[in-house]
A and B are shown apart, each in its own frame.
Chain A
Amino acid sequence: MELLRLLFCNALRHKLRSVLTIIGVAVAVMAFALLRTVVAAWYAGVEASSANRLITRHAVSFVFPLPLAYRERIYQIPGVEKVTFAIWFSGVYIDKNQFFARLAVDSESFFTVYPEYVLDKDQLDAFQKQRNACVIGIDLARRYNLKVGDIMNLEGDVYPGQWEFVVRGIYQPRDQTADPTIMMFHYKYVDERLRQEAPGRAGNIGWYVVRIANADDAAVVSEAIDKLFENSPAETKTETERAFQQNFLSSASAVITAMNVMSFVIIGIILLVVGNTMIMSARERTHEFAVLKVLGFSGGQLFFLLAGESLILALTGSAIGLAATLPAVQGFRAALPKGWFPIFYMKPETMVVGCVAAVLVGLVAAIVPLRRVLSTRIVEGLRFVG
């Protein structure tokens, strides 16, 4: 007989209570992991940011365009390796509920600057050769059952009119942090049509993406770019891609903060659930703990028994909760309107945090009963009637 066996026997002594505690912990851990996953989904763009990419946009607002002519001037700045650009096209595909990013991009440079969107060379060549070609993410292809050669019709809103695109490539995200739901097509296709239908809007782009040689030079290069266009009709604001993404999130910061706080409140709830069980359990066994002390068991061994029991409940609940979170994340994602969270998966860090939290909860939940057990004199414990 090992102490470990006594520990397991104690943990399962009141099966119903133990099962209910484990279920309580599992549900709370699942809620915690789901909330963390939602928060992580908000930050997915930030996470995916590259350290050596800068975003140059109009100094007043993202919605104001920048002249295409800026591109060559940006290239002149030391440290700049590659410059590409994009336009937020918007538009409607099928109906207004079908949301995904539609970008008009520079087909020659976009995939070089964004290596996380992996496209076959043949498909890239085909895309570059055909003016009304488009490339879509694998998730879009699955969602709309699209394949190479299929037609995608967009109804323009920011850029009015009917727009017909031919799918010439389907990209794969390099990893889970890359968005698999973007539609990209030729900037030139849009610009040429604007030159005919709305010449005043032609020759502009939405934002530049600047790849720099050394990420440490981000501040210097950003400053140099903005200085270049100082006092021009379209002044620029250049920042790292991460800062750019974070600015996007600032509007939802209150919601994100609330979710962050809630996720840690849930940890507190788990602590209360396990702590309550452990206090009840230890109180009922005051007499037994006194007997163990009589037999010569030390404070450390009693801590092992109590903390071990508490850890069994917390870790079992946590493991079940995390296991249940995986399908719950899929279900949650499926239940959301398409395109809300293009990158939505439980990060390994969430699982680690869940496990670490369970261990801490297990240990902390044992402290109060342990203090009581240790402070109770043996003779009082032997006289205790629960």
Chain B
Amino acid sequence: MEAPLIQVHELFKSYHRDSLEIPVLHNINLEIPEGEFIAFMGPSGSGKTTLLNLIAGIDKPTAGRISIAGTDITDLNETELAVWRSRNVGFIFQFYNLIPVLTALENVELPLILTPLSKKERRAHAITALEVVGLAERMHHYPRQLSGGQEQRVAIARAIATDPTILVADEPTGDLDKNSAEEVLNLMGRLNRELGKTILMVTHDPRAAERAGTIRQLEKGELA
């Protein structure tokens, strides 16, 4: 049997505020196979985003191990993690986080700068990614010239441009109206079904979670 793409083993995370230790995640064990679309739900403060951040390698656990595609990312230092993220993780944020002074095309091209691709290849990859999200005709528009839904689709194009191992989405529809949210969720569904992307999504929205193949609930830092 093939090993799961993501393996989380006895994961603990706590934050320190002054002398206070605030536990956030408690003994999380999780396995996610390749090609899964998983949604994490739970009340605010339950540790959903923290878990996502740890799996995406943008935060360090207090204890425990996280292995992704055979790499134990808890062993990596900051520099190694940065390189690993650039090759393996695509991020979709609630507030899109596009660079306002760059066009849609340039925003999508941004993570490709870190790859060995030539300028021409980078441009071709970025255009393909924009075509996938249906925004090729708006490639020269700046974020301020796009709607919220379009901005999030550009953010998705940026996330998939490097063809990462996993896509992580933190409340990707949290700032969108119903129609735009539908568009974004449809797109994520397509990426999962048609391109086989492994997607981890944090959401409060039950309708968004319904699109995922698996829903996991977090309660007070523990997986239900």
Contact = CB atoms under 8 A, between A and B. Distances in A.
A298 B82 contact: yes
A294 B81 CA distance: 10
A303 to B, nearest CB: 13
B97 A13 contact: no
Contacts of B30: none
Interface residues of B, number: 26
A295 B58 contact: no
B105 A1 contact: yes
Interface stretch (A127-135, A264-272, A375-383): A375-383
A378 B54 CA distance: 11
Contact of B58 (A287, A294, A297, A299): A294
Nearest to B123: A1
Interface in B116-161: 119, 122
Nearest to B91: A294
A162 B53 CA distance: 95
Interface stretch (B107-115, B173-181, B201-209): B107-115
Contacts of B59: 377-379
B76 interface: no
B85 interface: yes
Interface string A46-74: 00000000000000000000000000000
Contacts of A1: 102, 105-106, 109-110, 113, 122
Contacts of B56: 294
Contacts, number: 64
B93 A382 contact: yes
A296 interface: yes
A3 B111 CA distance: 11
Nearest to B96: A291
B3 interface: no
Given A379-B53, A379-B59, A5 B106 contact: yes
Interface string A194-222: 00000000000000000000000000000
Interface residues of A, number: 23
A297 B79 CA distance: 9
B111 A298 contact: no
B58 A2 contact: no
Nearest to B95: A287
A379 B114 contact: no
A296 B114 contact: yes
B101 interface: yes
Nearest to A379: B59
Contacts of B102: 1, 5-6, 9
A349 B163 CA distance: 53
A156 to B, nearest CB: 73
A293 interface: yes
A292 B53 CA distance: 15
Interface string A1-17: 11101100110010000
Contacts of A9: 101-102
A230 interface: no
A288 interface: yes
Given A2-B113, A379-B58, A13 B101 contact: yes
Contacts of A296: 82-87, 111, 114
A295 B85 contact: yes
Nearest to A374: B78
A298 B79 contact: yes
Nearest to B109: A1
Contacts of A293: 58, 82
A382 B86 CA distance: 17
A170 B86 CA distance: 73
B122 A295 contact: no
Interface string A288-312: 1001111111110000000000000
Nearest to A285: B99
Interface in A1-43: 1-3, 5-6, 9-10, 13
A294 B99 CA distance: 13
A17 to B, nearest CB: 14
Contacts of A299: 79
- Listed from nearest, the 4 A-B pairs whose CB atoms lie closest are A296-B86, A9-B101, A1-B106, A378-B58
Given A5-B106, A6-B101, A378-B53, 5 more contacts: A1-B109, A1-B113, A13-B101, A377-B59, A379-B58
Interface of A: 1-3, 5-6, 9-10, 13, 287-288, 291-299, 377-379, 382
11 contacts: A1-B110, A3-B113, A5-B106, A13-B101, A291-B93, A295-B110, A296-B84, A296-B85, A296-B87, A298-B79, A382-B97
